[in-house]
Amino acid sequence: MDPTGAGRLRGFRAPAADEVPGPSTGSGNVVDRAGDVAGVDVVEAGPPVQERSRRKGSWRWLVVAGAALVVAVVVIATLAFRLGSVTAASDASSPSPTPTPAPTATPLAVPDLYTRVVPSVVLITTSKGSLGSGTVVTDTGTILTANHVVSGGGDLTVVFADGTKAPATVATSNPAQDTATLVPQKLPEVVVPAALGGGVVVGADVVALGNPLGLQDSTTSGIVSGLGRTSRTDTGTVRGLIQFDAAVNPGSSGGPLLDAQGLVVGVVVSIADPGKDDAFAGIGFAVPIGAALGGGGDGPGPGGGPQI
């Protein structure tokens, strides 16, 4: 039979030497070794059914996982968009408050403040009967006080917090600001200068230390009631003063006015006295520490401002 003719068996291979022809089926079909039947197209065998099933299953899982990932991304994006819209609307309707500046230092309780500063406060007396207070402001013992306490003349005596008593002389004074500095002739065993501060604001807490009516090392507290005040006294008019409501009385003049950190922010110089009886009427005045130190002065005795 011509293998190229019309009657050739499709898909039939010539048997190899080691192949044995299969038995005749009686119908004229010839079966090869692989089980091919003559007259039937032979298709190359693919992977086994189980392997194909596994591959199809893997592809299904990949498709499902990919779809789930896409859905998750869409859901997250939608939620984020809605949340952003709600936040933006809330921000637009409710403006953010301005942050409150943090305080620069921790305020001290009055007992702690008193314990820290009272070693720097001195009692001042004169042979002419004046009584006042002062503050040690340098490690060499320089004392800052009110000028009217020491301007009347007479011998000056200072008593330190530890009981040390010593004569003193006026180093500098500034009558316009009612401030002066003293130099004691003897110092206590331990000199404790007070720390000097800066400006104050209305409403700030303040503490006054001094010797009202001779009651040594007294303390009172209050707030700053006003700034830039003017006080008219028997010794002159002083401007640019701190008004405060901590109780002070005769003998408090020259003592320190402290802020909440225990820094000296003023020198107590006078009180409002509408009854002309030297009694505290709820208003005291202090020279700001900047003005007390800014008077200049270069020599001993009256005329120049405090120079610390």
| Tens digits of residue pLDDT in 84-93 | 554 444 444 4
Q: Which of 97-106, 140-149, 212-221 is the least confident region? A: 97-106
Its pTM stands at: 0.64
pLDDT computed for residue 275 by the predictor? 75
Q: Predicted confidence band at 153 (pLDDT cuts at 50, 70, 90)?
A: confident
Alpha-carbon Rg for the chain in angstroms: 51
3-state secondary structure (DSSP) of residue 156: strand
- The pair of structure tokens assigned to 269 is 């110089």
pLDDT at 19 over 70: no
Average pLDDT estimate for 32-52: 45
Q: Which of 302, 6, 29 is nearest to 182 (CA)?
A: 302
- The pair of structure tokens assigned to 226 is 């006003």
Reported as a single tens digit per residue, the pLDDT across 189-216 is 999 999 999 899 999 999 999 999 999 9
pLDDT computed for residue 51 by the predictor? 55
Quickly count: other Cβ atoms within 10 Å of residue 246's Cβ.
24
Q: Pick 107 or 274 by higher pLDDT.
A: 107
Distance CA 236, CA 264 (A): 24
- The pair of structure tokens assigned to 154 is 């007479």
Reported as a single tens digit per residue, the pLDDT across 261-298 is 999 999 999 998 887 777 788 899 999 999 998 754 44
Q: Known catalytic residues?
A: 148, 178, 253
Amino acid at 89: A
Amino acid at 28: G
Q: Predicted confidence band at 66 (pLDDT cuts at 50, 70, 90)?
A: confident
pLDDT computed for residue 235 by the predictor? 78
Distance CA 149, CA 125 (A): 8
Reported as a single tens digit per residue, the pLDDT across 216-271 is 999 999 999 999 999 988 878 899 999 999 999 999 999 999 999 999 999 999 99
Among 37-51, 59-73, 109-123, top mean pLDDT goes to: 109-123
DSSP bridge partners of 157: 125, 167
pLDDT computed for residue 5 by the predictor? 45
Average pLDDT estimate for 17-46: 43
* Contact residues for 210 (Cβ-Cβ < 8 A; gap 6+): 121, 132, 133, 218, 248, 251, 252, 253, 254, 255, 256, 268
